[in-house]
Amino acid sequence: MIVPVRSLVRSKALFAEALTLIPGGVNSPVRAFRNVGGEPFFAERAAGARVWDVDGNSYVDYVGTWGPAILGHAPEAVLRAVGVAAASGTSFGIPTAREVEMARKIVSWVPSVEKVRMTSSGTEACMAAVRLARGFTGRDKLIKFEGCYHGHGDSLLVKAGSGALTHGEPDSAGVPAAIAGLTLSLPFNDLAAVRAAFEQNRGQIAAVIVEPVPGNVGLLLPEPGFHEGLRTLCDAHGALLIFDEVMTGFRLAKGGAQEGIGVRPDLSTFGKVIGGGFPVGAFGGRAEVMDCLAPVGKVYQAGTLSGNPVAMAAGLAQLAELERLDGFRRLEEVGAALEAGLRGIFAKSARSGSVQLHRRGSMFSLFFTAKPVRNCADAMASDREVFRKLFFGLLERGVYIAPSPFEAGFLSLAHGADEVEETLRAVAEVVPTL
Ligand code: KE4
C-alpha cells in the first residue's frame, strides 16, 4: 500500500490552542496520545466503523469512543430516538417513563440485577457501588486488582489501569493516604493473594470489585475458577462481590461478562453501551443491598442528570438494535475473523513468538512479549516501543487502534468484511517493520 502523506495541519493548530486552555489539551488523559507519543488528531465526524479527522483523513476506528459505539458511530436508530426525545425536552429532574423502561431492560437482561440506579458516568456508578457496599456491610476496606480501572473515584485510583498507567504511575496524587490505605490492590488471577488479604483483614473488607474481563490494562483473560473463587471467598467472609461491567456490560453478551462466566455478583456497574454515546452509568444488584440507597436507606447517592431522558432514549434504541440485529452473535463472528487474520499475519512474521493476542467477543488487545500475560505486571513488561510503532504504522494507513497498550480494542456491528480486510492489509504491511 502506498502510504499517503496525511495532512494534520488543522489537528495541530487545534491541539496547540487546546493546550493553552485545557490541561494537556484534552478532557480525558487517554486521548492525549501520551502512551505512544506525538499529538492526538481531532475528530470532525464519525459514521459506522469510521472516524474522520478535521483534516479529512479517515480511519477504521477500533476505539469506538472507548466502548459505547457498539453499533458503529451515529446509528440511524439512535439518532432518530435522540431527536424524538430531545424534542420533548432535554432534562426534567422529574421521573420519566424512559427511566423505568431502561431499568426494566437492565433487570431483564442481567439476572443478578434486581434493582438498578442510573448515573451519568461509569465513575459515578463505581463510586456509588463501593459506598453502597460499605454502607451495607458497615466495613471500610476494599479489594481491587492492579490495572483494573473503575473510574477516577478516590478509593479506586489505587494501582488503577487505563490512563492512570501512562507513566507507570497507577496511583493518583491528591488521594489522601487515609483513603488509599483502605484499598488493597492485588494481582488479577491470583486467588491466593485474595485469600490472604481476607485472612489478614478479617471482618474489615466490604467488597471485592473487579472488571470480570479487564479491558484497562490491555485485555486480560480470567483464568478458570478465578471468579468462582472470588464468589466463594466473599461469601465466606461476608463481603460483597462487585463486577464492574462498565466496559463489558451489554457488549460481551446480553447479560454482560457475568453471563458467560456464570458467577452472580452482588452488585454490577454499567455504562458506555447503555448510553448510546451519551453520558450514562448505572449500578444495580440484590434488592436488599440496593434498598440501602436514599431515599429508602441511608447511603446517599444522587445526580442532576441521572436517567436523563435523551440519554435513556439513546441507550434504549441501541439495546433494541443490538437485539434486533442479533448483535452479540455477529460481534463474535467479526471478532473471530479479525483474530484469525491477525494470528495468520503474526504466525508468518519474525514476531510470531513474541506477541500475545487476547480476544473476548468484540474486545481485543495485543501485547508484544514472549511471556503469557496474566496480570498487570505482565502487561507492563510488554514491549511498548513495538506497540508504538504498530500504532503509528496503522494510523498512517488509516487504522486507529487505542493509543496505548493499556487499553482494549472494540469492534462494532459496523465493522464488516471490508473493514477487517482493510485492517489486515495495513497490519500485514506494518508487522515486518516492527
Ligand atoms: P467513565 O467515568 O469514564 O464513564 O467510566 C469509568 C470506567 C469504569 N469502569 C470501567 C471498566 C471503565 O473502562 C471505565 C472507563 N473506561 C475508560 C477507557 N479505558 C474511559 C476512557 C477515558 O477515561 O477517557
Collapsed DSSP state (helix, strand, coil) of residue 274? helix
Residue 378 appears among annotated catalytic residues? no
Task: Check residue 126 and give its pLDDT.
Answer: 98
- The pLDDT of residue 340 is above 90: yes
State how far the Cα of 237 lies from the Cα of 254, in Å rounded to an integer.
30
Distance of CA 123 from the midpoint of ligand 1 (Å) = 7
Q: What is the mean pLDDT of residues 406-426?
A: 98
Query: Contact, 278 vs 314, CB < 8 A?
Result: yes
Instruction: Write the pLDDT tens digit of every residue in 154-203.
Output: 999 988 888 888 665 668 999 999 999 999 999 999 999 999 999 999 99
Residue nearest to atom 5 of ligand 1 (CA): 122
State how far the Cα of 368 lies from the Cα of 409, in Å rounded to an integer.
15
Task: Check residue 3 and give its pLDDT.
Answer: 66
Residue 244 appears among annotated catalytic residues? yes
Question: Apex CA 17: angle with CA 12 and CA 22, to 5°?
Answer: 115
Report phi then psi at 144, rounded to 5. -130, -175
CATH number of the structural domain 9-62+326-433: 3.90.1150.10
CATH number of the structural domain 76-324: 3.40.640.10
Nearest to 376 by CA among 66, 135, 148: 148
Task: Check residue 1 and give its pLDDT.
Answer: 55
155-164, 252-261, 341-350, 357-366: range with lowest mean pLDDT: 155-164
Whose cell is 453499533? That residue is 71
Atom of ligand 1 nearest to the CA of 66: 18
Please state the pTM of the whole predicted model.
0.97
Task: Check residue 5 and give its pLDDT.
Answer: 73
Q: Is the CB of 247 under 6 A from ligand 1?
A: yes
State how far the Cα of 67 lies from the Cα of 121, in Å rounded to an integer.
13
Catalytic residue among 190, 244, 266, 378: 244
Identify each DSSP E strand in 137-236 by its residue range. 141-145, 183-186, 205-210
**For the chain, which residues make up each domain, given as ranges?**
9-62+326-433, 76-324
Integer Rg of the chain from CA: 21
Distance of CA 175 from the midpoint of ligand 1 (Å) = 18
Instruction: Write the pLDDT tens digit of every residue in 388-404.
Output: 999 999 999 999 999 99
Q: Is the CB of 277 under 6 A from ligand 1?
A: no
Task: Check residue 2 and give its pLDDT.
Answer: 64
Task: Check residue 88 and give its pLDDT.
Answer: 98
pLDDT band of 215, cuts 50, 70, 90 = very high
State how far the Cα of 62 lies from the Cα of 205, in Å rounded to an integer.
38
Distance of CA 246 from the midpoint of ligand 1 (Å) = 7
- The pLDDT of residue 128 is above 70: yes
Residue 272 appears among annotated catalytic residues? yes
Query: Contact, 270 vs 106, CB < 8 A?
Result: yes
Distance of CA 409 from the midpoint of ligand 1 (Å) = 13
- The pLDDT of residue 253 is above 70: yes
Instruction: Write the pLDDT tens digit of every residue in 68-126.
Output: 999 999 999 999 999 999 999 999 999 999 999 999 999 999 999 999 999 999 999 99
Pocket test for ligand 1, best of 149, 243, 269, 274 (most atoms within 8 A of CB): 149
Instruction: Write the pLDDT tens digit of every residue in 359-383.
Output: 999 999 999 999 999 999 999 999 9
Distance of CA 1 from the midpoint of ligand 1 (Å) = 35
Catalytic residue among 149, 159, 378, 400: 149
Q: Is the CB of 407 under 6 A from ligand 1?
A: yes
Average model confidence (pLDDT) across the chain: 96
Query: Contact, 254 vs 321, CB < 8 A?
Result: no
Long-range CB pairs of 194-199 (<8 Å, 24+ gap) are 194/143, 194/229, 194/230, 194/233, 195/229, 195/233, 197/143, 198/143, 198/233, 198/236, 198/237, 198/239
Nearest to 137 by CA among 195, 204, 230, 201: 204
